[in-house]
Each structure stands twice: as structure tokens, then as C-alpha cells.
């Protein structure tokens, strides 16, 4: 289906370090199928990597809302919270 295809293309773009394009694909996949948790997780990973911790945490929380058993999202959320706190402590 279209949402899966967009998510898959986003994965390829992420691996090519085309982060803006990957975020666009993951967002389009979410718009096609809002209940599909995987593109939220993938978009969260890109946002985390870019240092956009608040947006990443929002995506990881949405994944857990849709699928509370998604362990990687729970771990990623915890890491984003810790990294945001560390960033704030260091003042940047």
C-alpha cells in the first residue's frame, strides 16, 4: 500500500543521509495511514538525530499511544528525554 511504500522510501532516504526528504516521506505515510505507527517511529529517529528532541519525543509518544508494546519507541523516548536534559544542562 501507499503508506508502506512511502515509509520504505523514507528509510532509503534516511540511509542516504537525505534527512529532509526522509521526514517528508514519513510524514506523507502518516497522512495516508494515521494509525500506522512505524513512520512515526522512523520520523522520530530522524528528528532525534537532527537534535529536534521535542519533535522526536512527540513522535515516539504517538507510537506508544498506537502500540504500547513497541519497545524500541519506549527506549528511544527515554533516550531523547535524557539527551534533551543533558543539552539543557550544557546550555545549548
Contact 71, 58 (CB under 8 A): no
Question: What's the CA gap between 40 and 42, in Å, rounded?
Answer: 6
Question: What's the CA gap between 90 and 84, in Å, rounded?
Answer: 10
HSE-CB at 89 with a 13 A cutoff on CA atoms is 6
Question: What's the CA gap between 28 and 9, in Å, rounded?
Answer: 11
Domain boundaries defined on the chain: 2-91
Containing 43, the helix (H) or strand (E) segment is helix 37-49
What's the predicted TM-score (pTM) here?
Answer: 0.94
The per-residue pLDDT for range 60-81, each reduced to its tens digit, is 999 999 999 999 999 999 999 9
Fold classification of 2-91 (topology level): 1.25.40
The per-residue pLDDT for range 12-26, each reduced to its tens digit, is 999 999 999 999 999
Amino acid at each position: 500500500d501507499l503508506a508502506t511504500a512511502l515509509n520504505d522510501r523514507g528509510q532509503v532516504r534516511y540511509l542516504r543521509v537525505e534527512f529532509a526528504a526522509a521526514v517528508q516521506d514519513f510524514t506523507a505515510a502518516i497522512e495516508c495511514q494515521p494509525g500506522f505507527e512505524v513512520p512515526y517511529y522512523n520520523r522520530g529517529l530522524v528528528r532525534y538525530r537532527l537534535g529536534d528532541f521535542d519533535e522526536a519525543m512527540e513522535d515516539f509518544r504517538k507510537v506508544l499511544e498506537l502500540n504500547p508494546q513497541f519497545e524500541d519507541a519506549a527506549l528511544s523516548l527515554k533516550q531523547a528525554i535524557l539527551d534533551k536534559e543533558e543539552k539543557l544542562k550544557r546550555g545549548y
